[in-house]
Amino acid sequence: MSALQPISGKDHAAGGETYDVVVVGAGFAGMYMLHKLRGLGLTVRVYEQGDGVGGTWYWNRYPGARCDVESMQYSYSFSDELQQEWDWSERYAPQPEILKYANHVADRFKLRPDIALNTRIDQATFDETANTWRVTTSDGNTVTAKYVVLATGCLSNARMPDIKGLSGFKGKVYHTGHWPHEPVEFTGLRVAVIGTGSSGIQSVPVIAEQASHLTVFQRTANFSIPAHNAPLSQEEREAFRAKYPEVRRFAREETRNGIYTEMPDRGALDDGDNERRTRYESRWAYGGLTFMAVYNDLALNKAANDTASDFVREKIAEIVKDPQTAKLLQPNNHPIGTKRICVDTDYFATFNRPNVTLVDIRSNPIEEILPNAVRTAARDYEVDALVLATGFDAMTGSVAKIDIRGRNGQTLNQKWAEGPKTYLGVMSAGFPNLFIITGPGSPSVLSNMMVSIEQHVDWITDCIAHMRDRGFEAMEAEKQAEESWVAHVNEVAHTTLYPQANSWYMGANIPGKPQIFMPYIGGVGVYRQICNNVAAKGYEGFVMTAVEQPQKIAAS
Ligand code: NAP
């Protein structure tokens, strides 16, 4: 059967349905992928393990969860009608509103009939004879597809910490990345939050308002910038919408992180102390992730970075009344921005509340969880509920949970045992017709995910159309092109300060995970250009195979 015509139907040999494309995950990536592939007239089945769409915004329902990119920008740009008609209520939308938006998109573009909810993909095996994938789902079905697209998300595999006694805790245990759907009530309870990354930093102020006492267990202090969140007025929305064409173009083509903002024209050391402070004050007052865009060398030059790190440490000391607590909250083991910077609402001020205690578990590690307490080397803290804000097996974790077998029966986990290897972050050699959206080796988590998702989906769609139009059956990254790309990703990362932090970007939060800088740090604008050039040269660095004769397109 040709892959080049829609091929839905029963595959009697495999015993299940046959599709042109199976997409794994119905978050923002999977939904847009479905929409675009339908536009090519292909048959698509999306499998989603949750019982609703929305991906990260479906799972991360913890108190205070909201986006750290402004919502007018953290939204799809592919449909002007959609971006003109949707009203974001606040500068940074809260999780329920983002989930509502995801559901709106699913309805508006009539995506639901092609999405199977409550269904995991357990296995995907490439059939080298037929150039198709056999995909096994958690409900025991096997389907066949020409292509598989992994839209599994970069931060979707919540990580339970390996702490002795955790399973014996008598109260409720919650993970921020896997929050219950029913309301969680902390009123009158003594609550522990373990972890002070973005999820902890967002949830702590909200939990503190409910709990009788909140104890925050901090291993590493983090840099956080105030969000200064506020309702958006109709005038603000309209003004933003009017400039959408330029905002979206600029974010895609001219930025590193996919966020439209004023671009720096100088380094931190080009200004004197007073001018520098004025600039930092102004960005602090504006709030949010763009704090790192005050100067153009904060990610590159340690001395420059120190000026920004010092500024934020001073702010923490100004906000937090108890000097000892302030000192503990001041990050001191990584340059600002080399771990994902956090965006908060009243995080540091929360430690001025009488019902909040900060415990430094760097000097006094948690030894075990007792049925009613957290035991550190120094003492026991009695608590009624535990909130684990301990993060994710990022970028590779969700892919690793699927048993993916490519050529010669090699599994993707075997291939990635020493770290993920991809060409452009979209394909891995030896795994034909398997695409990854925002995979390792692409800007993904270093960017506004919406920008990176749309770019990958558009590129993959064009690529599949190219194959269809030219009669190609299989496409695969060339090993040599992949090796060069992996080396390039690594080289660029090491021209920056990023590798200096023990971050999840490096896999450092997972014991035993290879420590390799996973995302591509060259920036979304540069990366887009590289991908476009590859496509313009007939998908240089990929091998495309027709039924009769293989065509090789060598990487230069
Ligand atoms: P994270 O940044 O990985 O933070 C996990 C925290 O848990 C860290 O403080 C870590 O300490 C601590 N931890 C992990 N294991 C521990 C253990 N066994 N004992 C004690 N402490 C432990 O995870 P996250 O906060 O969920 O955020 C992950 C990413 O998701 C963010 O960086 C961001 O990209 C994204 N996110 C975005 C938003 C948003 O858009 N608003 C919100 C939440 C998350 P160490 O640092 O010492 O390892």
* Residue-wise pLDDT tens digits, 90-145: 999 999 999 999 999 999 999 999 999 999 999 999 999 999 999 999 999 999 99
Asked whether residue 86 carries a pLDDT value surpassing 60, the answer given is: yes
Q: Quick check: 475 and 21 in contact, CB under 8 A?
A: no
**pLDDT higher than threshold 50 for residue 1:** no
pTM of the predicted model as reported, rounded to 2 decimal places? 0.95
Is the pLDDT score of 523 beyond 50? yes
10 has a pLDDT exceeding 80:
no
Q: What is the residue whose two structure tokens read 């590159």?
A: 300
- Reply yes or no on whether the pLDDT at 228 is more than 70: yes
* Cα–Cα distance for residue pair 365/376, rounded to 1 Å: 5
For residue range 161-194, list pLDDT tens digits in order.
999 999 999 999 999 999 999 999 999 999 999 9
CA-closest candidate to residue 49, choices 528, 480, 401: 401
Is residue 52 within 8 Å of 117, Cβ to Cβ?
Answer: yes
The single-letter code of the amino acid at 253 is E
Q: What is the reported pLDDT for 547?
A: 75
Question: Considering only CA atoms, which residue is closest to atom 10 of ligand 1?
Answer: 195
3-class SS shares of the chain: helix, strand, coil, % to 5: 35, 20, 45
- Could you give the 3-state DSSP secondary structure of residue 424? coil
Percent of the chain topping pLDDT 90:
93
Q: Could you tell me the distance, in angstroms and rounded to a whole number, from the CA of residue 199 to the centre of ligand 1?
A: 6
Rounded to an integer, the average pLDDT of 242-267 is: 96
Tokens matching residue 538: 């007939």
Q: What is the per-residue pLDDT for 406?
A: 98
CB-based contact 36:13 (threshold 8 Å): no
Q: State both tokens at 42.
A: 């292909």
pLDDT digits (tens, 9 = 90+) for 98-107: 999 999 999 9
Summarised one tens digit per residue, pLDDT across range 416-443 is 999 999 999 999 999 999 999 999 999 9
Say yes or no to pLDDT of 198 above 70.
Answer: yes
Interval 278-320: pLDDT, tens: 999 999 999 999 999 999 999 999 999 999 999 999 999 999 9
H-run or E-run covering 328: helix 323-329
For residue 445, which atom of ligand 1 is closest to its CA? 34
Q: What residue ranges line ligand 1, CB within 6 angstroms?
A: 66-68, 155, 161, 163, 176-177, 194-200, 202, 219-220, 340, 361, 366, 389-392, 445, 504, 509
50: pLDDT strictly greater than 90: yes
- Name the residue of 509, 510, 513 whose CB sits within 8 Å of the most ligand 1 atoms, as the mutation to test its pocket: 509
pLDDT of residue 240: 95
| Distance in Å, CA 510 to ligand 1 centroid | 11
Q: Which helix (H) or strand (E) holds 95?
A: helix 95-108
H helix count then E strand count, the chain: 16, 22
Residue 554 pLDDT grade (very low, low, confident, very high; cuts 50, 70, 90): low
DSSP 448-482: -HHHHHHHHHHHHHHHHHHHHHHTEEEEEE-HHHH
Which tens digits make up the pLDDT trace of 397-412?
999 999 999 999 999 9
Residue 84: pLDDT band with limits 50, 70, 90:
very high
Question: DSSP E strands: which ranges in 138-207?
Answer: 142-150, 172-175, 190-194
Residue with the smallest CA separation from ligand 1 atom 4 is 197
pLDDT-based confidence at residue 16 (cuts at 50, 70, 90): confident
503 three-state secondary structure: coil
Nearest to 22 by CA among 136, 157, 110, 178: 136
Atom of ligand 1 nearest to the CA of 201: 25
Instruction: Using the predicted structure, report yes or no on whether residue 555 has a pLDDT greater than 70.
Output: no
**What is the distance, to the nearest Å, from the Cα of residue 41 to the centroid of all Cα atoms in its chain?**
29
Q: Give the number of other CB atoms < 10 A from CB of residue 8.
A: 12
Residues 6 or more apart whose Cβ sits within 8 Å of residue 440: 395, 396, 420, 422, 425, 518, 519
Query: If you average pLDDT over residues 261-266, what whole number do you get?
Result: 93
In 347-471, beta strands by DSSP E: 356-360, 366-370, 373-376, 380-382, 385-388, 403-405, 434-436
**3-state SS, residue 397:** helix
Q: What are 193's two structure tokens?
A: 């939050």
Phi, psi of 292 (to 5 degrees): -75, -5
- 497-516 average pLDDT score: 92
* Separation CA 128–CA 433 (nearest Å): 11
Q: How far is the CA of 340 from the centre of ligand 1 (A)?
A: 9
Q: Which atom of ligand 1 is nearest to the CA of 69?
A: 40
Task: Give the pLDDT band of residue 556 (cuts 50, 70, 90).
Answer: very low
pLDDT > 70: percent of the chain? 96
Across residues 216-230, what is the average pLDDT? 98
Determine the atom of ligand 1 nearest the C-alpha atom of 162.
18
Q: What is the pLDDT of residue 549?
A: 52
Q: Residue 552 — very low, low, confident or very high, per pLDDT cuts 50/70/90? A: low
